[in-house]
Amino acid sequence: MKDTIRNSLVDYFSRGWVTLPVRVVINPDTGKKEYTEGLLPWRGKKKRFSRDFSLKQLEKLGVRANGVVVFTGHNSNLLVIDVDSDTPEVTLRDLGITVPENTVRASTPRGGRHFYFTHPKKLAGTTLAHIGGKAVDIRGARGFITAPPTEISGKGKYFWIVSPDQGIIQPPPAKLIQLIRRHNRIKRIPPKAAYVSSGIKPIGGKSLSQLSSKQQEIFFKRLENARKAIVGQRSSKDYCVLDWVVRIGMEKEEAWEYVKDIGKFRERGRDYFEQTYNAVARKSIKP
């Protein structure tokens, strides 16, 4: 596996893709991927890693390495559509998006698809979740994607359906650009009047991609702490996550997408999220 990962890292860097080797596992409690080694210190960074740096990281991980992440956005000139569906092409067509047959694409262990496109130079806010209410995420600025030949024990492999050698990485469909722009317009800061009756301070509407690298790093660290919290500590760790969300002005709906499968948010759902969020927001109001 290590040699296969090494060959992929060399190949991806030759294409201008910024990549790192990682250790990725499935959390038995949430059923979600966790990058236990290789990724966290660099998540959300703008730095361009060299091929030699990435290969040195592989040597540090050794046989523990079982995957590769590719950083999307301007660093690699990549924008990737992540469709978590058994019928990904149908899901995209429901959104009005048609993907050319020669588009580079990979299969995920669950049967979803990653469609690879070039990243538009003047388009901001390109790392988004649940576009159009569908199981469609966009990986762009300051994002990343798990790429072949990643193989997760008990889950399966990522593999190319149309490899970079076979297909074309072309500009994204015009309809996708429209949806991204519309999504970002919806996420603008809400008017203060909307908060008057509840007494909750408006905290802003920044998407993850609009936060600084340091803010993102702290956000993901608090998420990780909440994910690992034991019984008796979960409420406080959940609170810490939303406390940071409020302090940095992160958009509420995007925060929900990140926390909904973690801690008590997963058990108690949206009502618990709203209660915790409102408690944090009220506390942030200065007397």
236-274 pLDDT per residue, tens: 888 999 999 988 888 888 888 888 878 788 778 888 888
Higher pLDDT, 102 or 127: 102
**Least confident range of 22-31, 125-134, 161-170:** 125-134
Query: What letters, b where the CB count within 10 A reaches 16 and e where it falls short, cover 222-238?
Result: bbbbbbebeeeebeebb
pTM here is 0.66
Confidence of residue 14 (pLDDT cuts 50, 70, 90): very high
Query: What's the pLDDT band for 41 if we cut at 50, 70, 90?
Result: low
Which helix H or strand E contains 174, and what residues bound it?
helix 174-186
In the chain, the percentage of residues whose pLDDT exceeds 90 is 33
Domains, the chain, ordered by start: 3-185 (3.30.2250), 208-282 (no CATH)
> Can you name the residues that pair with 66 across neighbouring β-strands?
none
Is a pLDDT exceeding 70 seen at residue 193?
A: no
pLDDT at residue 200 in the model: 43
Identify the pLDDT of residue 68: 95
The span from the CA of 162 to the CA of 205, in Å, is 37
Predicted local distance difference test score (pLDDT) of residue 197: 35
- Highest-pLDDT range among 14-28, 86-100, 157-171: 157-171
Q: Hey, what long-range contacts does 262-270 have (CB within 8 A, 24 or more apart)?
A: 262/30, 262/223, 262/226, 262/227, 262/238, 263/226, 263/227, 263/229, 263/234, 263/237, 263/238, 264/234, 264/235, 264/238, 265/238, 266/30
